[in-house]
Amino acid sequence: MNQAVKTQFDALSKSLARHLKRYFAAIAGTVIALMLGFSSFFTTELGYTYVVQDTLFGTIRVFTEPGVHLKVPFFSNVYTYNQAMTLNFGNQESGEVIRATRQLNEVEVQFADTYTASIPATFRFKLSADPERIVAMHREFRSYDNLIDSLLIKNAKNVTVVTATQYTGEEFFQGGLNKFKVQLEDQLQNGLYQTERRQVEVEQTDLAAVSSTNDDGDKLEHKVQLVWKNIILQDAAGQARRLANPLESYGIQVRQVTIGRPIPEHRLDELLVKKKDLVAKRITAIQAQETARAEAKTAQLEKEIEKARAIQDAQRAKELAVISKQKEVEMERQQAELERVRKEKEQAVALLEKQTQLEVATAERDIQKANAEAATYAAKAIREKGLAEAEVAKANLMAKQSARDIYMAEIQRDIARVMYPALKETQIQMPAYYVGDGSATPVNSLDVFTSLGAMDHLKQSLQTAERTR
């Protein structure tokens, strides 16, 4: 019995072991598959440059845009570089630290006159988008941190220190900061200037040495010193000669350089403060002198103005008197001229009136003469007309006398033309009266008809009067 149970337990144990091995194998396969799956691709983000190194096939790829990319699992290394980076050497804005890739201390520089200072500055760089330059940069530095520490930081500090040697401390802090920034950015982007160390004369203000003749330790004095400075060399075209720029071979660009408030060393700061006080006192004294000089000049100018004003008033009074006399003379001359013109006008008017009267008389004479001539001509015309009409009447009369019968016949014809139409409806009755004078002379027809017409008219008038009664 015990043997059978033991046999069953062993068989169950072996079956369980086989199942566990299969389970763990499945889990291990799943884990390996997931690892292979996640290791076969990677994602890229905006603002970063990715260098993918394939150790199995020996290839290098560069990605600068966001996306999803494949890679060989376990045999590919992905290196990430920021496309833009900021190095802040102690520069602050409103007391707040600027957000940067690296936060560093101020750059310690030494000027040509051995004074030192701390210069806070911020440098912003941008990587190239050229894959070949990115690969060359990666071969040289192999990581992003090594690129910043070995190239960008060292180069920025080196250019800042070298640029400072081209200035004296006083020159830098008395208006040379802006030029320093321009030269710093130019050399950082295009390469350092080739310089030659020379001694130059520099006019400076320094603390006077304490001696038997000077017991004031704060006294300042102006003096000319020989200072070693790095002088920029120029080519034949007048352009600055340059050294090789280590950033150019990798295509790294300098996008921005900002300078904070530099901090001079104690001796230089004390010298600048005393010089500032001395300059302020000197300016005050000069201003006082200028004010006194200006006041004296103003008083002199006021006197000259008063003198010129008095001269001008006298000259003006003289000119006014002359003008007044000239006005009187001119008025008298104009009055005489006016009187002369008036007389000439009166003479001209009288002459014109006489000429007008003469012309009127001449015109009337001409009119009368013309009227007389016209009357003569009219009388002659009337006489000629009368003579002509008399001749015509004489001729007619002569013609009538020579043809009396014809003329009488024509008269009878004309009377008939007038009378016969009037007697068209007239009835001739035996007259109740007789027309004649009782003589033997016969009465003509015209007298007869005239008498008949008159009697008939009288009769009608009587009848009308009777009807009205």
Three-state SS letters, 351-392: HHHHHHHHHHHHHHHHHHHHHHHHHHHHHHHHHHHHHHHHHH
Report the share of the chain in percent with pLDDT over 90. Answer: 17
Dihedral angle sign, alpha carbons of residues 357, 362, 363, 367: positive
What's the pLDDT score for residue 252? 93
How far is 229 from 193, CA to CA, in rounded Å? Answer: 13
Asked whether the predicted pLDDT for residue 156 surpasses 90, the reply is yes
Mean pLDDT of the chain: 79
Asked whether the predicted pLDDT for residue 112 surpasses 90, the reply is no
Average pLDDT, integer, range 316-333 = 82
How far is 128 from 247, CA to CA, in rounded Å? Answer: 10
pLDDT digits (tens, 9 = 90+) for 67-90: 887 777 777 888 999 999 999 998
pTM of the model: 0.51
**Residue 195, Cβ density class (10 Å: 0-12 exposed, 13-18 middle, ≥19 buried):** middle
pLDDT digits (tens, 9 = 90+) for 143-153: 999 999 999 99
Which DSSP symbol is given to 151? I
Average pLDDT, integer, range 445-464 = 71
What's the pLDDT score for residue 425? 63
Q: pLDDT band at residue 443, thresholds of 50, 70 and 90?
A: low
Long-range contacts of 218-225 (CB under 8 A, 24+ apart): 218/274, 220/271, 220/274, 220/275, 220/278, 225/113, 225/201
Average pLDDT, integer, range 448-456 = 70
Bridge partners of 104, per DSSP, are 89
Task: Give the closest residue to 144 by CA, choosing from 41, 49, 251.
Answer: 49
Distance in Å from the first CA to the final CA of the chain? 203
CATH 3.30.479.30 fits 83-208+218-264, yes or no: yes
pLDDT digits (tens, 9 = 90+) for 186-241: 999 998 988 888 877 766 665 555 555 665 555 556 666 677 777 888 888 888 88
Asked whether the predicted pLDDT for residue 460 surpasses 80, the reply is no
pLDDT digits (tens, 9 = 90+) for 330-359: 888 888 888 888 888 888 888 888 888 888
φ/ψ (deg, to 5) at 379: -60, -45
What's the pLDDT score for residue 125? 95
Better-predicted residue by pLDDT, 462 or 216: 462
Listed by start position, the domains of the chain span 2-77, 83-208+218-264
